Structure 1
Amino acid sequence: MKRYFLILFSFMLFNCTDSLKEKGAPEYIDRIKEWRNKRIENLKKENGWLNLAGLYWLKEGKNSFGSDPSNDIVFPPEAPGFIGYFVLSDSTVTVKINDNIEVYENGIPVKEKLMRSDMDDSATVLQSGRFKWFVIKRGNLYGIRLRDLESPLLRDFEGIETYPVNSDWRIEARFEPYNPPKKINIPTIIGTTEEEVSPGALVFEKEGNAYRLDAIDAGNRLFIVFADKTSGIETYGAGRFLYADKPDSTGTVIIDFNMAYNPPCAFTRYATCPLPPKQNYLNLRITAGEKNYGELHH
């Protein structure tokens, strides 16, 4: 009996170890690993997601800001106490800086300025010490997004756990066009809904079952927001993101779930991520791509 359990344990250990092995041609595995490394580099950049330190929605009229608790918008304690104020008037945001405070835009001192939002060609980015901020627009909401260039999350970041690369999750899908392209509602984590254009659905088979995903037109590529049966358990609860090339001449699209990645909201509460539309919840365990960074990290 003892020998039986030893053999059984060895068999289970072998299968467990084998399941952690990567699968695919060496050049394919290297390509996915290179993509993942680039992804980490981008997260760590100054315009990445790891240094977000605040998101403050503006009220109509005057909004004072700085680290002093008496402000309408309270920056972290390392910022100056009273920096100035934002004025939201209809669809414009103007910033006015207090006389004794130094704030810069690209190294040039700023005292009063009309701020372009992230929905414009380029947002106005202001800086004081280790902090940078700019205006974001979401629906009818205007807010201030704050970056801390010395963010503890950036300093302590150790990467993202992923499933082993497995070429079985590089799947050929059939593109079913919507004619005309269909408008779909994409909910967001802040409670708003964005209307996006879907040029068609990606239809694929896995384990003998058919699945479909509505894709969003992202210019020269397709963008997919999806959730699956790993969501909230092994992967981020609010779904994952994925890009794919547009269909080739035969109407084929390659969906590579090894490149599925966490939305910014997996790392910070100061992002405004889209959520999967209900039709993109898959009754399938997609054991590929990034795993959950974890709500415990923020």
Structure 2
Amino acid sequence: MKRWAGMALLLAAMATAGCGGGDRPAPGPDAPRFDPAFLMNNDIWREQRQAELLQPDGWTSLIGLHWLELKAHYIGSGSTSGIRLAMGPPRLGMVVHEAGRYWFMPERGVAVQVDGKPVKGRIPFHADDEPSPTMITFDGGKGTLSLIHRGPRHALRVRHADAPARAHFGHLEYWPADASWRITARFVPHDAGKTLPVVDITGLTTEQANAGAIEFERDGRTWRLEALGEPGRPLFVIFADRTSGHGSYAAGRYIDLDTPDDKSQVVIDFNRAYNPPCAFTPFATCPLPPPENRLDLPVEAGEKTYVKPAQEDAT
């Protein structure tokens, strides 16, 4: 059905491009360009984008972010738990910080698994910046518990397939696809090892690898964005623009880029600018646009602000 829906959108766009009414002015040089292959690829990308958000472990499945402040925390949905989960068993287990490491001990009689194997006793609880992060599942696999490390602090990240943000998800809105916003940019490499300080939504500043900048032309001007990532690898851009808070998400948007080619060129497609996880959940730790990436330019392309449906707001 999604494939047919995508084809229907494509045909409608092509019809709009080729069948102007007698009272409709001829499209100007800045009008959206309706290339069939571009529109189809963009439609596929949008479907994949929404599918990823709605995965059982996608960003819309988050139900909690709990910072660990004590040496031991009892976890569960019951009123006697020190960390109160929005979903799950009344007593799930206990997290202990001991000798610089974290451990998890499940509550007796509660079904908990790691890598598909039942957990019966105390196990090491590895964070997301360690080689093999621990993913604890509960509620028959619907719920997951993981440990994240941000600066000097650790937190429990909790997901559940029945999360309200996922169960009552609305829909993503976009500006009309416009091939003029798919731009071949110049990649300007930085010196090896350069980093860029990036602040996240919790106020934490971290130094991110900053392989280089990209420069592109728009509206008769040259614009520049700093790109995050290692040299010779795909890049990541966090940016804000004049639509931020006025059509697009106020805290900025993200774009993924391929590795620059041997001519130091890379395509930046603003039609594929997307909202950070914080647009959908309060339980994420999203990095924010650095000052260098705040464009005095209205980027009327890509994903618009997500509006939560009434059902989600009521939960």
TM-score normalised by length of structure 2: 0.84
Q: Any idea what the Cα deviations from partners look like across 1:66-121, whole Å, max 9, x if unmatched?
A: 11233221012x42222221012354210112223222223422132111211123
- Separation in 2 of the partners of 1:223 and 1:90? 36
Return the alpha-carbon distance in structure 2 between the equivalents of residues 95 and 51 of structure 1.
22
Name which of 290, 293, 297 aligns with 2:306.
293
- Give the match's secondary structure for 2:208: strand
After TM superposition, the structure 1 = structure 2 runs for residues 40-79 of structure 1, keeping only pairs within 5 Å, are: 40-76=50-86, 78-79=87-88
Q: Indicate conservation of the 8 Å contact 2:147/2:157, yes or no.
A: yes
Counterpart check, 1:139 vs 2:148: no
More displaced, 261-270 or 168-177?
Answer: 168-177
- 2:38 maps to 1:25: no
1:84 alignment partner, one of 78, 93, 96: 93
- Change beyond 3 A, Cα 1:24–1:80: same
Residue 295 of structure 1: how far off its partner (Å): 6.7
Distance 1:121 1:47 in 2: 20
Out of 25, 32, 39, the residue aligned to residue 49 of structure 2 is 39
2: distance between equivalents of 1:295 and 1:184? 33
Q: What corresponds to 1:3 in structure 2? A: none
Show the counterpart of 1:187.
199
- The secondary structure found in structure 2 opposite 1:41 is helix
**Structure 1 SS opposite 2:282:** coil
**Separation (CA, whole Å) in 2 of partners of 1:93 and 1:175:** 42
Residues 263-290 of structure 1, C-alpha deviations (whole Å, 9 max, x = no match): 1111001111110101100000001110
1:177 aligns with 2:186: no
* Equivalence map 1:181-260=2 (5 Å): 181-217=193-229, 220-260=233-273
Task: Structure 2 unaligned segments of length 5 or more: list them.
Answer: 1-20
Can you give the 5+ residue segments of structure 1 that lack an aligned partner in the other structure? Answer: 1-10
Length, aligned pairs only: 284
Cα displacement (A) at 1:181:
4.5
TM-score under structure 1 normalisation?
Answer: 0.88
Amino acid aligned to 2:74: S
- SS of structure 1 residue aligned to 2:191: strand
* 1:47 CA drift (Å): 2.5
CA contact (8 A) 1:181 1:200 kept: no
Give the share of equivalent positions with the same residue, in percent.
35
Work out whether 1:104 is the aligned partner of 2:118. Answer: no
Q: In structure 2, what residue type is equivalent to 1:102?
A: A
Q: Alignment RMSD, CA only?
A: 2.4
Can you list the C-alpha shifts for 1:174-211, whole angstroms capped at 9, x where unaligned?
A: 22221245211010011101101211111112111221
1:250-289 matched pairs, under 5 angstroms: 250-289=263-302
- AA aligned to 1:37 is E
Distance 1:112 1:156 in 2: 36
Aligned position for 1:168: 180
Cα distance in structure 1, aligned partners of 2:305 and 2:295: 17
